[in-house]
Amino acid sequence: MTVDDVAEYLRKPRSWVYDNWRREALPFKKVGQALRCRPADLEKWIDCQAS
C-alpha cells in the first residue's frame, strides 16, 4: 500500500500519515524513496492500537 492508500484506509489526511508514521510506528518499509506498507501489517498495527 502507498501512503495515499494508508491515509484513505485510516481516514486520515495524507499529511497525518507522513507526519506520524515513525511516532505512531506505522508498519512502513522504505522502498527506494517511497514508503510502502503491507495490508496484513497495517491490520496487525490497527489491532494493536485497540488494545
What H or E segment, with its residue span, contains residue 30? strand 28-31
Other CB atoms within 10 A of residue 37 CB:
20
Distance spanning both ends of the chain, measured CA to CA:
24
Predicted model pTM: 0.88
C-alpha cell at 38: 503491507
pLDDT in tens, the chain (51 residues): 999 999 999 999 999 999 999 999 999 999 999 999 999 999 999 999 876
